[in-house]
Chain A
Amino acid sequence: MRSIGFIALALFGMTNLSYPTESKPLPYKPVQEETQAIAALEKLGGIIRLVSLEDKALDVDLTGATDTLTDEHLQYLLVIKNIQVLRLKETQVTDAGLVHIGKITSLKRLFLEKTRVTDAGLVHLLPLKELSYLNLYGTSITDQASETLLKFPRLQTLILTETQVSSKGIQQLQKGKTDLEILPNLELRKAQAEAAWKAAQKAVADAKADYEKIQAEVEKVAPEIKQIQEEVNKTSAEFSEMTKKNEAAKKELARLTMELTQAKEALERVQKESSKNPQDALLKSQFEEKKNQYDSLQKATTTARKNSDMLEAATNAAKKNSDQAKQKLDKLKNSKKLTDAKLTWETNLKLEETTRKIWEELNK
Chain B
Amino acid sequence: MNREKLLPRRDFLRLSAAGVLSSVTVPWFESLAQAAIKQPRGKSCILLWMDGGPSQQHTFDPKPTGEFRSIKTTVPGIQIVEQLPQLAQCMNDMAILRSMKTDINDHYDAKYYLHTGYRRTSAFEHPAIGCLASSELSVPDQEMPCFVTIDAGSDKTNGGRFYRSVPGYVGPQHAPLAVQEPTKGLENLKELGDDLDARLELLEPAEERFSKDYPLGSVGTKQSAFQRAVRLMRSKRAKAFDLESEPAKLREEYGKHRFGQSCLLARRLIESGVRFVEVFHRGWDDHEGAAKRINERAPWMDAAMSALIRDLKVRGLLEDTLVVWMGEFGRSPGDGGGHFCNAWSTVWAGGGIKTGQVIGKTSETGKNPGSTIVDRPISAPDYIATLCLALGLDIHKEFMAPGNRPMPMVEKSAKPIKELLA
Interface check A282, CB cutoff 8 A: no
Nearest CB on A from B285, distance (A): 19
Q: How far is the CA of A14 from the CA of B141 in the complex (A)?
A: 8
Interface check A5, CB cutoff 8 A: yes
Task: Give the residue among A15, A184, A206, A351 with the most B Cβ atoms within 10 A.
Answer: A15
Q: Which residue of A lies closest to B272 (CB)?
A: A63
Binding stretch for chain B, among A42-50, A231-239, A253-261: A42-50
Contact status B234-A20, CB under 8 Å:
yes
Nearest CB on B from A1, distance (A): 9
Interface check B292, CB cutoff 8 A: yes
Residues of A within 8 A of B216 (CB): 8
Contact status B40-A50, CB under 8 Å:
yes
Contact status B227-A17, CB under 8 Å:
yes
A residues contacting the other copy or chain, number (CB 8 A): 63
Interface check A281, CB cutoff 8 A: no
Interface check B37, CB cutoff 8 A: yes
Instruction: From the candidates B85, B204, B249, B299, name the one contacting A199 in the complex (CB within 8 A).
Output: B85
Q: Which residue of B lies closest to A158 (CB)?
A: B316
Q: Interface size for chain B: under 10, 10 to 19, 20 to 34, or 35 or more residues?
A: 35 or more
Residues of A within 8 A of B200 (CB): 19
Instruction: From the candidates A4, A50, A189, name the one contacting B215 in the complex (CB within 8 A).
Output: A4
Please encode chain A, from 303 to 327, with 1 for each CB lying within 8 Å of some chain B CB and 0 for all others: 0000000000000000000000000
Residues of B within 8 A of A183 (CB): 313-314, 316
- Tell me which residues from 6 to 21 in chain A have a Cβ below 8 Å from any Cβ of chain B: 7-9, 11-15, 17, 19-20
Known contacts A13-B32, A183-B313; A355/B298 CB under 8 A: no
Contact status B74-A61, CB under 8 Å:
no
Contact status B40-A63, CB under 8 Å:
no
Contact status B74-A192, CB under 8 Å:
yes
Interface check B22, CB cutoff 8 A: no
Please encode chain B, from 316 to 353, with 1 for each CB lying within 8 Å of some chain A CB and 0 for all others: 10010000000000000000000000000000000000
Contact status A9-B139, CB under 8 Å:
no
Please encode chain A, from 55 to 66, with 1 for each CB lying within 8 Å of some chain B CB and 0 for all others: 000110101100
Residues of B within 8 A of A113 (CB): 315-316
Contact status B30-A11, CB under 8 Å:
yes
Known contacts A53-B392, A203-B85, A348-B83; A340/B314 CB under 8 A: no
Q: How far is the CA of A322 from the CA of B303 in the complex (A)?
A: 47
Q: How far is the CA of A130 from the CA of B84 in the complex (A)?
A: 39
Interface check B3, CB cutoff 8 A: no
Interface check A200, CB cutoff 8 A: yes
Contact status A9-B295, CB under 8 Å:
no
Please encode chain B, from 273 to 292, with 1 for each CB lying within 8 Å of some chain A CB and 0 for all others: 10000000000000000011
Residues of B within 8 A of A48 (CB): 36-37
Q: Which residue of A lies closest to B397 (CB)?
A: A53
Contact status A61-B316, CB under 8 Å:
no
Contact status B38-A50, CB under 8 Å:
yes
Contact status A5-B37, CB under 8 Å:
no
Task: Give the residue among B82, B212, B291 with the most A Cβ atoms within 10 A.
Answer: B82
Binding stretch for chain A, among B63-71, B109-117, B186-194: B63-71
Known contacts A14-B220, A135-B316; A203/B30 CB under 8 A: no
Nearest CB on B from A326, distance (A): 20
Contact status A19-B230, CB under 8 Å:
yes
- Tell me which residues from 49 to 65 in chain B have a Cβ below 8 Å from any Cβ of chain A: none
Known contacts A14-B30, A20-B231, A42-B36; A347/B295 CB under 8 A: yes
Interface check A196, CB cutoff 8 A: yes
Contact status B212-A195, CB under 8 Å:
no
Q: How far is the CA of A36 from the CA of B220 in the complex (A)?
A: 31
Interface check A343, CB cutoff 8 A: yes
Interface check B211, CB cutoff 8 A: yes
Nearest CB on B from A42, distance (A): 7
Interface check B86, CB cutoff 8 A: yes
Interface check A165, CB cutoff 8 A: no
Please encode chain A, from 1 to 41, with 1 for each CB lying within 8 Å of some chain B CB and 0 for all others: 00011011101111101011000000000000000001000
Interface check B11, CB cutoff 8 A: no
- Tell me which residues from 285 to 311 in chain B have a Cβ below 8 Å from any Cβ of chain A: 291-292, 295-296, 298-299, 302-303, 310
Interface check B369, CB cutoff 8 A: no
Q: Which residue of A lies closest to B139 (CB)?
A: A47
The 10 A-B pairs at the shortest CB distance, nearest first, are namely: A8-B215, A159-B316, A12-B220, A59-B41, A192-B89, A203-B82, A135-B316, A199-B85, A49-B41, A196-B85
Q: Can you name 5 extra interface pairs (CB under 8 A) apart from A19-B230, A49-B39, A207-B69?
A: A11-B30, A12-B224, A14-B220, A58-B37, A196-B86
What are 11 A-B pairs at a CB distance below 8 A?
A5-B215, A17-B207, A38-B37, A51-B41, A58-B37, A137-B315, A192-B74, A199-B72, A340-B67, A343-B292, A354-B303
